[in-house]
Chain A
Amino acid sequence: DTGVSQNPRHKITKRGQNVTFRCDPISEHNRLYWYRQTLGQGPEFLTYFQNEAQLEKSRLLSDRFSAERPKGSFSTLEIQRTEQGDSAMYLCASSFFGLTYEQYFGPGTRLTVT
């Protein structure tokens, strides 16, 4: 069990560019969550997957954001036409639905939009 990993750890991009983040959950976990954390705030839910199905999306997830989990393993979060307001830490978490209560978090990807 190597834990939840996220790549890249840091991303600096210019406004208007597209960025993609990757999350690799704990291997046997069937649920995967994305959260966004801005400075001085707690994480806010963006979306989650059970296996490959995206079952819920927050209103925070504008149409510039898209997430996938194509084979029920790793997930990607893409932001198109980035804006300065997208600057934040993007956290991924995974859990095993029905067995444990705990969501295990990755180290996050810090996005800075200049």
Chain B
Amino acid sequence: AQTVTQSQPEMSVQEAETVTLSCTYDTSESDYYLFWYKQPPSRQMILVIRQEAYKQQNATENRFSVNFQKAAKSFSLKISDSQLGDAAMYFCAYRRASQGGSEKLVFGKGMKLTVNP
């Protein structure tokens, strides 16, 4: 079974600074997707960024970028120029890429990010 581990339950960052959230995963599959989801307080979960395992290039979405290390099974999220609105729970998630399956997401426990003004 696939597992996702987020070992840091909480982090804080000063506004405008950079923070890196770590995630490791375990799978025997060679083809899969990795995601970072953001869950603001009392609001719904939204997708921040996605990485396909077959792509060597790290994904980037504006201030958000990932460091994907396939051999190490590591998938960290870097948030640059942190903003107050980035404060939320962040979840790392894994999904198999094989066709015909449920494409269910396997989540880590999450990490609470606080942004200090």
Answer whether A and B are interacting partners: yes
Q: How many chain B residues have a CB neighbour from A under 8 Å? A: 21
Question: Contact at B46–A105, with CB atoms within 8 Å?
Answer: yes
Residue-wise, chain B 102-117 has the 8 Å CB interface mask toward A (1 for contact) of 1111111110000000
B107: A residues at CB distance < 8 A:
42-44
Q: How many chain A residues have a CB neighbour from B under 8 Å? A: 25
- Interface flag for B64 (CB, 8 Å): no
Q: In the complex, which of the residues A45, A95, A105 contacts B45, with contact meaning CB atoms closer than 8 Å?
A: A105
Looking at A11-19, A62-70, A80-88, A96-104, the stretch in contact with chain B turns out to be: A96-104
Whole-angstrom CA separation of A45 from B106 in the bound complex: 7
Q: Which of chain B's residues has its CB closest to A98's CB?
A: B99
B61 to chain A, nearest CB (A): 12
Whole-angstrom CA separation of A60 from B101 in the bound complex: 18
